Amino acid sequence: MSTLVLLRHGESEWNAKNLFTGWVDVDLTEAGREQAVAGGRLLAEAGLLPDVLHTSLQRRAITTAHLALDACDRHWIPVRRSWRLNERHYGALQGKDKKQVRDEFGEEQFMLWRRSFDVPPPPLADDDRYSPVRLPQYSGLGDDLPRSECLKDVIGRLLPYWESDVAADLRAGGIVLVAAHGNSLRAIVKHLDGISDDDIAGLNIPTGQPLVYDLDDDLAPVTPGGRYLDPVAAAAAAEAVAKQGH
């Protein structure tokens, strides 16, 4: 038996502005920092003290994890990071206002780009100011560096890391914290709960709310869907994510 805690970063500057973000490395807002600290306090109150942390290479997840772990006195645990836990690359939509995109392209196309399993947004040009191609943290990726991704693509690049690194820590026992992003966490939840390609469209992950999975020896959830430590706040925050752009 092992325990997995999934934590989406707190509110980011571009969450607050309602902009598609993806691989753009924006910071947390003050409210996002407070959410991260509150998430850490929830972990402490529940006695869920992480033994190891996995994060993406993005500032909003890294800072959230640091603040949450500091709040529960686990700032010292081992850390592993991978681009494979990054947010979904939102292609040419990165930096665009969600409501404006919905108004311009219509509800159906907007939701296909946002939540469909296999429709990626148009690719981001390498000379775009939001392209990550020249960032040093991605210099070794070569052909793996995405220009746009759908959820299916995220699952494809995330699962190898899940199997090799996260699952290995889970099998070793203890409590594993994964601090990541709305869509990389949707990919993990889809995998764990066996959610269908259609039904995953309806799943939204709230910012800063710890989601806990107790896993059996096969790393299958004991309780499907896991449990939020603050279910009322998590439901309200997930609803707010679902409504973005509307």
The token pair at 63 is: 């800072």
Is 15 annotated in a binding site? The answer is: yes
Is 9 annotated in a binding site? The answer is: yes
Is 12 annotated in a binding site? The answer is: yes
Residues 9, 54, 149, 181: which is the catalytic one? 9
Q: Which is nearer to ligand 2PG, 113 or 162 (CB)?
A: 113
Q: Which is nearer to ligand 2PG, 175 or 203 (CB)?
A: 203
Minimum Å distance from CB 2 to ligand 2PG? 28
State yes or no: is 108 an active-site residue.
no
Minimum Å distance from CB 181 to ligand 2PG? 6
Q: Which is nearer to ligand 2PG, 104 or 214 (CB)?
A: 104
Is 21 annotated in a binding site? The answer is: yes
Is 8 annotated in a binding site? The answer is: yes
Q: Which is nearer to ligand 2PG, 48 or 201 (CB)?
A: 201
State yes or no: is 54 an active-site residue.
no
Binding site for ligand 2PG (CB under 6 A): 15, 20-22, 87, 90, 114, 182-183, 241, 244
Q: What is the 3-state secondary structure (H, E, C) of the chain?
A: CEEEEEEECCCEHHHHHCECCCCCCCCECHHHHHHHHHHHHHHHHCCCCCCEEEECCCHHHHHHHHHHHHHCCCCCCCEEECHHHCCCCCHHHCCCEHHHHHHHHCHHHHHHHHHCCCCCCCCCCCCCCCCCCCCHHHCCCHHHCCCCCCHHHHHHHHHHHHHHHHHHHHHCCCEEEEEECHHHHHHHHHHHHCCCCCHHHHCCCCCCCCEEEEECCCCCECCCCCEECCHHHHHHHHHHHHCCCC
- If phi > 0 it is left, if psi is from -120 to 50 it is alpha, else beta; for residue 133 that is alpha
Minimum Å distance from CB 210 to ligand 2PG? 18
- If phi > 0 it is left, if psi is from -120 to 50 it is alpha, else beta; for residue 30 that is alpha
Q: Which is nearer to ligand 2PG, 2 or 21 (CB)?
A: 21
Residues 45, 75, 87, 191: which is the catalytic one? 87
Is 239 annotated in a binding site? The answer is: no
Minimum Å distance from CB 66 to ligand 2PG? 20
Minimum Å distance from CB 71 to ligand 2PG? 23
8 Å CB contact between 183 and 150 = no
| Residue with smallest beta-carbon separation from ligand 2PG | 21
Binding-site positions for substrate read 8-15, 21-22, 60, 87-90, 98, 114-115, 182-183
Tell me which residues are annotated as active site: 9, 87
